[in-house]
Every structure is written in C-alpha cells, then in structure tokens.
Chains A and B, each alone.
Chain A
Amino acid sequence: MKTRALAAQTRAETILQLRRGENLVVTLAIPLGILVFFAKIDSVTTAGFAHPVDFLVPGVLSLAVMAAAMVSLGIATGFERRYGVLKRLGSTPLSRGGLLIAKTATVLGLEVLQILLVVVVGVAIGWHVPAGIVPAVGLLLLGTIAFAGIGMLMAGTLRAEANLAAANGLFLVLLFLGGMAYPLDKLPTALQDFAKALPAAALSETVRSVLSAQAFPTGELAVLLAWAIGAPVLAARYFRWEE
C-alpha cells in the first residue's frame, strides 16, 4: 500500500471532519462544555474526589473518545456510503484496508486534539495531572476500538438518516448512563446494572481508576474488552459498502 495514498486520504478525511461544524460541536464543544459546566456547579463531588475535576476529567476524556470514534466516524461514514463514495473508492487502488487505516489515523488525530484541550482546560480549572497517564491512554485506545466498532456497525447497516439519528441518540444515552458527567451511583439501582454493561461506563470507570490510583475495576475492563472485540467483529460481518 502506498504511503502517499494513505497520507492523502487521511488529509482529506481530516479536512472533511474539520469542515463539519456539527462534528466540532459534538467532539469538542460538548465535552469541554460539560467539563467546565459540571466543575463549576460542583454537583458531582463524591467520596474519594477532592475536587470535581478529578472526577470529571477522566469522564470527559471518555466522552470525547466516544464522540470521535462513534459519532463523528459513524455519521461521516454513513453519508459516504449514501453518496456512493465508499463504492467509488472500491474501484481505485486505495484498498478497503487503506481506507480503514486512513479513517483510524483521522480519528486518532482528532482524539489527540481532544485530549490536549481537555487536559489544558482541566488544568486551568484546577486539575493536577496525575500518574497513570500511560495506562489511561491505553484504555482510551481500547475504548476507541469499541466505539468505532459500534459507529461502523450502524454506518454500514442503517440508512444515512437513520444512522445520523441513532448515533446522536446513542451518544446522549451513553452520556447519561456513562458515569461521565456525574457518578453512576446517582442512577436508580436497576439502571446502574444496565449502565455497567455498556461500553461508556466501562471506559470512564477504568480510566478514572487509573488516573486517581483507585483499585482497578477488573469487571469494567472485562466489559470494555468484550465491546472492543464484539463490536468490530459485528461491523466487519454486517457492514455493507453500498446503501
């Protein structure tokens, strides 16, 4: 595979991503807004966290990754499928593998920007960068795989409009049930059990534990791993390149 083709594809996908205003709202404005808003109203302080940002930064990092890998990637891919772009690329020398590599690089590039901004804003409002950054990045990568799998599964099976609605709807549900802006134990008990089986809570809980040196939640890691394996496998199995 040619490096030049991959570089050009990644560049084009990045340009398209930055040109979609609604995409920047979901991937940058909403996570940063939640970080600042919930830090200021101070409603989330729970036992074990000296300051709301200590709780919020890991949650917002997880939210940002979910927005980039599931919402942004999924919606863009769904419309590329609708407009026959995926089909057209199928008869160029850029292979499907090449397209997936370029899309992965585009998502990772966006995530680097997101993480930088969340950390900078977090520090500005009182977060102290803790140890455990390296394992946290590893977990965020695992989350990226899980959410990209979900996004691509929807993008490759639903009509573009249905995919748009589903990705945004799921984003909202997972934000509410993800232990990102407020702790899971604020939810009713029955809902907590359901939420813990979802990838959002599994990601935010594990990231939070390594960033605050708490006991590592092995059960949550198992849930995250299951999504990171299951969702891409299903996407690969059911993805249709033409709508």
Chain B
Amino acid sequence: MPAAASDPAISVAGLVKHYGPTRAVDGLSFEVAPGEVFGLLGPNGAGKTTTVETLEGYRDPDLGTVRVLGLDPVRDAPALRPRIGVMLQEGGLYPGLKPLELLRLFAAYYDDAESPERLLDIVGLHDATNTAVRRLSGGQKQRLSLAAALIGRPEVVFLDEPTAGMDPHARATTWQLVRDLRDRGVTVLLTTHAMDEAEQLCDRVAIVTGGKLAALGSPAELTRHAVSDEIWFAAAPGLDVLAIARALGLGADGVVEDRVSEDRPGEYVIRAPGTPGRIADLACFLRDENVTLAALQAGRRSLEEVFLQITAEEAR
C-alpha cells in the first residue's frame, strides 16, 4: 500500500533485539517524519547501530515492528533498497577500486543515479580520483562512503557515525551535505557521538541508553528545562578570577574563592545562576578591563551536558 504524505518515513515500534543473552535493543519506539533529520545519540553499546541496521534490512527484529517508507526492510527489500542510501559505520568499499570507479559501479545499481563525477566533486575527493580506496585516509574513505550512500538519490538516508575520523574541513563539508539533503526533503537518520553535530544538524534527537529510549525531542526542547546554575564564558586567558567574582557581587557571603575559575586557559566558569544582572555585571567587568568576549553560555545547558546527565543517570 502506498504511504500517505503524513505517514512517518521511519517508524520503530517496540523493537527488541537480542545477541545471545544481551538485549542490544530493549523495546525502542520512535518515528521520523518525512524530510526530518533525526539523530540517534547514545554511549557505545546503547543499541544505535543495531537499530539502524534493522532499519536497513540487515537484521530481523526479535520483537516489534520497523517500517521505512511504509515498507518492511526485510520482506519488502527489493522495493525498498532502490529508495534508501546507507553509510555503514565502517567498511563497505572495494579496496582495489578507485573512487570514481566505485561510484560509477554504485550508480549502475540505480535507475536515476547522480552523476558520479559531480558527487565526487561535492564530497571533495576530486583530487583523489587516481588513488585506490585502500590508500585513502580514514576521512576520505568516510566521504566516499557518504557519496556511495547518496548516489542513488535516496528518499531516506542512514548515516552511522558519518563524521567519525574526519578532519574539521571534511566534517563541515558533511554537515553542509546533510543540510542540503534536508533542503531537498530527504529524510536522514544519523547516529553520532558528537553533540555539537546533533545540535547543528538534527531537527530531533533520541537519546538511547541500554537499548531503551531515555529522551526524545528537538535539541532546544531537551535543553530548555535543563536550567544551569553556571555561567560559562570564553575570553583572553589569565583574567583575575577573584576580581570577576567581586564584580559580580559573589563575595557577599564571604567566600570568593572557587566561585569563579579558569578551567582551561581562556575558559571560565562562574558558579552562580546566570541572572540578567550577573550577565550585565560580567559585561561591565569585561568593558572595564577592555577584554573581548569570545563566547558566553548561561541559563541553559548544552546538549552535551544533558546527554551526560541522562546517560549517567541511566548507568546508575
């Protein structure tokens, strides 16, 4: 039956998967809307890859149901495979082929493939066309693997740790590619360890621990209620932390020490809620000292802090 426009692109309902006595996935449920970029976050062994590989049709669920574009990834594989793109966590490339040869081969599997030359250019491998895959760097292999996932103009793309091993430039290229996919209405499910990646790219994320869903929502939603009682800012290294504490009126209770510290050179933590008054005091202090503010975070925790808190709670 054709999927209606409002149907989810991906649905996972009560998924359970065992490996021997280990429950890799333990009753996981979530849905991904068409055109959404969805992130699966979780520590190693949380069941992210198992979930993704079940959606890709590599494994049968022990219990529960998974659907991609309304299709069963195993039973309806011949109908589904032309419509999805897959980037495995590692491997999947012929070591003896050159990048363009590999993309031309993959292009032949699909009816309306992208131009291999153009795609190679987009992922920034045009200068590696004469290098066999086995001699590419880890980041170059990742980019080729990403290109192979996109060559068939998929409607749904699965990216398992797409930027692992990439240098910052390649990471930026990959992020831009994912944003372009979203602009074209492609559904993306990615797993990542990098919280900045999830915050930058994902419309919604699911935090998974021990095969179970621990949190689900947009990065903004997940961080909204996590009120921080710290102010974090970055500026020139070596500022007088005691002077900062006094400027913010933190010496009133007699203990000035430890209220402000320079945790890493140029990165300061003020152990007090980021009220508007304190932020104004901090700004005045920096003006008086003629110090440029590089970054400021107050009132809301980063996704990374929320992630660490949730996964630590689950581990207890």
Number of residues in A with C-beta < 8 Å to the partner?
24
Please give the distance in Å from B45's CB to the nearest CB on chain A. Answer: 18
Report B67-99 CB contacts with A as 1/0, cut-off 8 Å.
000000000001001101010101111111100
Also in contact, A84 and B101, with CB within 8 A (given A5-B109, A91-B58): no
Residue of A8, A20, A87, A88 near B108 (CB, 8 A) is A8
Contact between B58 and A4, CB atoms less than 8 A apart: no
Report A2-16 CB contacts with B as 1/0, cut-off 8 Å.
101101110010011
Name the residue on B nearest A92 (C-beta): B109
Also in contact, A93 and B94, with CB within 8 A (given A12-B101, A87-B58): no
In addition to A84-B90, A91-B57, 19 A-B residue pairs with Cβ atoms within 8 Å of each other are A2-B108, A2-B109, A2-B111, A5-B109, A7-B108, A15-B97, A15-B101, A80-B94, A83-B91, A83-B95, A88-B88, A91-B86, A92-B81, A92-B152, A93-B78, A93-B82, A93-B110, A93-B152, A95-B78
Contact between B108 and A9, CB atoms less than 8 A apart: yes
Please give the distance in Å from B99's CB to the nearest CB on chain A. Answer: 13
Please give the distance in Å from B77's CB to the nearest CB on chain A. Answer: 8
Residues in chain B near residue A80, CB distance under 8 A: 94
A85 beta carbon closer than 8 Å to chain B: yes
A237 beta carbon closer than 8 Å to chain B: no
Please give the distance in Å from A73's CB to the nearest CB on chain B. Answer: 15
Also in contact, A83 and B93, with CB within 8 A (given A4-B108, A88-B88, A92-B106): yes
Contact between A85 and B93, CB atoms less than 8 A apart: yes
Residues in chain B near residue A222, CB distance under 8 A: none
B105 beta carbon closer than 8 Å to chain A: yes
How distant is the Cα of A87 from the Cα of B58 in the complex, in angstroms? 8
Residues in chain B near residue A19, CB distance under 8 A: 96
Residues in chain B near residue A93, CB distance under 8 A: 78, 81-82, 109-110, 152
B104 beta carbon closer than 8 Å to chain A: yes
Please give the distance in Å from A116's CB to the nearest CB on chain B. Answer: 25
Residues in chain B near residue A2, CB distance under 8 A: 108-109, 111
How distant is the Cα of A12 from the Cα of B82 in the complex, in angstroms? 20
How distant is the Cα of A222 from the Cα of B3 in the complex, in angstroms? 55
Chain B interface residue number, banded: 20 to 34
Also in contact, A91 and B95, with CB within 8 A (given A8-B108, A84-B90): no
B230 beta carbon closer than 8 Å to chain A: no
A135 beta carbon closer than 8 Å to chain B: no
Report B26-58 CB contacts with A as 1/0, cut-off 8 Å.
000000000000000000000000000000111
Please give the distance in Å from A118's CB to the nearest CB on chain B. Answer: 26
A94 beta carbon closer than 8 Å to chain B: yes
A132 beta carbon closer than 8 Å to chain B: no
Contact between B109 and A87, CB atoms less than 8 A apart: no
Contact between A91 and B84, CB atoms less than 8 A apart: yes
Residues in chain A near residue B101, CB distance under 8 A: 12, 15
Report A100-126 CB contacts with B as 1/0, cut-off 8 Å.
000000000000000000000000000
Report A42-71 CB contacts with B as 1/0, cut-off 8 Å.
000000000000000000000000000000
How distant is the Cα of A80 from the Cα of B97 in the complex, in angstroms? 12
How distant is the Cα of A144 from the Cα of B194 in the complex, in angstroms? 50
Also in contact, A5 and B108, with CB within 8 A (given A85-B91, A95-B78): yes
How distant is the Cα of A232 from the Cα of B148 in the complex, in angstroms? 31
A230 beta carbon closer than 8 Å to chain B: no
Report B194-238 CB contacts with A as 1/0, cut-off 8 Å.
000000000000000000000000000000000000000000000
A90 beta carbon closer than 8 Å to chain B: yes
How distant is the Cα of A83 from the Cα of B144 in the complex, in angstroms? 14
Contact between A85 and B94, CB atoms less than 8 A apart: yes
Residue of B58, B91, B95 near A90 (CB, 8 A) is B58
- Name which of A2, A91, A95 has the most chain B CB atoms within 10 A of its CB: A91
How distant is the Cα of A134 from the Cα of B77 in the complex, in angstroms? 41
How distant is the Cα of A20 from the Cα of B94 in the complex, in angstroms? 13
Also in contact, A91 and B56, with CB within 8 A (given A83-B91, A84-B88, A84-B90): yes
Residues in chain A near residue B148, CB distance under 8 A: 88
Residues in chain A near residue B91, CB distance under 8 A: 83-85, 87-88
